[in-house]
Amino acid sequence: MHTEISSHPVVFEENSIRVTLTVGVSHRKNGCSIDEWIQQIDKKLYIGKKNGKNQIVYE
């Protein structure tokens, strides 16, 4: 999915727009609350954005 999204520009009003995707992914560990899990995922998302975007960051 990641490769497909970034390799097909979107055409809008005769303009070609390159779309990228940055995603954070994390397994939920035993004893981890939903809020803690979301914080872990969010940290990974921002690591990906800081390191150049258009990537998947996971454990």
- Dist. CA 39–CA 45, nearest whole Å: 10
Residue spans of the domains in the chain: they are: 21-59
Closest-CA residue to 48 (of 39, 40, 56): 56
Dist. CA 28–CA 32, nearest whole Å = 7
Amino acid present at 31: G
Mean pLDDT for all residues in the chain? 94
**Is 32's pLDDT higher than 90?**
yes
Q: Which band of pLDDT confidence, cut at 50, 70 and 90, is reported for residue 34?
A: very high
The Cα 1–Cα 39 span in angstroms is 24
